[in-house]
């Protein structure tokens, strides 16, 4: 291969991808911008046009036994009594949008507040439209005693099963060994 061919080959392999990167990045920025606009519109609409108000009652926390030493799980609180309030909106597709604030007793039996926005895609698999299943996410912030109540952003999965105004909603907090890996569930009553 001659020097000229090596230069042309190097240009094609290493420089030509740089020419298409701005277009790819612009497309990515457009997708991120569209996602942000959809999210902020949904939060704003749920805040300004609630259809229902909700009472949240924390029900259970469960520390995944495979991810903890037994002496830790033996002393952790798994009955997170507390309370929360929120507001709900159902969109034209039947999906759930909610804004909420909740406080409950954490693993160390200390108060932990959490608040944010939640969204779930809703399925109604039975002929009875009162029964529903949901999968989605929540975005928000929490604060814990063992972290000096510094606000911590959260992005967590949501799942639910509901009938009429009552919903059993849950999430899983991922983590490392002896940290995180917690199933957390609550009841949500719609008024």
Q: Tell me how far apart the alpha carbons of residues 160 and 60 are, in angstroms, rounded to a whole number.
A: 14
What would the pLDDT profile of 28-79 be if each residue is shown by its tens digit?
567 788 999 999 999 999 999 999 999 999 999 999 999 999 999 999 999 9
The pLDDT mean for the chain works out to 90
In a domain, 32, yes or no: yes
Q: Which domain holds residue 121?
A: 50-190
Clarify whether residues 125 and 159 are in a common domain.
yes
How does residue 8 score in pLDDT terms, banded at 50, 70 and 90?
Answer: low
CATH number at residue 183: 2.40.160.20
User: Which of 5, 28, 49 corresponds to the end of one domain?
Assistant: 49
Q: 70 and 132: one domain?
A: yes
Residues 92 and 111 in one domain: yes
Q: Taking residues 166-191, report their average pLDDT.
A: 97
Residues known to be catalytic? 63, 106-107
Number of Cβ within a 10 Å radius of residue 11 = 10
Are 37 and 90 part of one and the same domain? no
Residue 179 confidence (pLDDT) above 70:
yes
Write the DSSP symbol of residue 76: S
Three-state SS annotation for 33-57: HHHHHHHHHHHHHHHHCCCEEEEEE
Give pLDDT tens digits for 77-109. 999 999 999 999 999 999 999 999 999 999 999
175 within some domain? yes
Whether residues 110 and 137 share a domain: the answer is yes
In a domain, 5, yes or no: no
Predicted TM-score (pTM) of this structure: 0.83
CB burial string 26-61: b at 16+ within 10 A, e below: eeeeeeeeeeeeeeeebbeebeeebeeebebebbeb
């Amino acid at each position: 291969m001659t020097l000229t061919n090596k230069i042309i080959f190097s240009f094609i392999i290493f420089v030509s991808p740089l020419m298409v990167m701005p277009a790819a990045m612009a497309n990515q920025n457009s997708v991120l911008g569209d996602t942000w606009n959809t999210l902020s519109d949904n939060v704003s609409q749920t805040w300004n046009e609630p259809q229902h108000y909700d009472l949240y009652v924390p029900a259970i926390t469960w520390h995944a036994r495979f991810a903890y030493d037994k002496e830790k799980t033996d002393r952790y609180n798994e009955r997170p009594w507390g309370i929360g309030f929120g507001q709900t909106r159902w969109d034209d597709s039947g999906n759930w949008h909610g804004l909420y604030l909740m406080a409950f007793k954490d693993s160390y039996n200390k108060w932990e507040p959490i608040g944010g926005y939640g969204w779930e895609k809703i399925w109604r698999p039975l002929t009875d439209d009162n029964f529903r299943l949901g999968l989605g996410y929540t975005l928000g912030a929490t604060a814990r005693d063992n972290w000096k109540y510094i606000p911590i952003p959260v992005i967590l999965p949501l799942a639910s099963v509901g009938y009429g105004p009552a919903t059993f909603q849950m999430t899983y907090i991922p983590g490392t060994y002896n940290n995180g890996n917690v199933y957390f569930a609550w009841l949500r009553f719609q008024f």
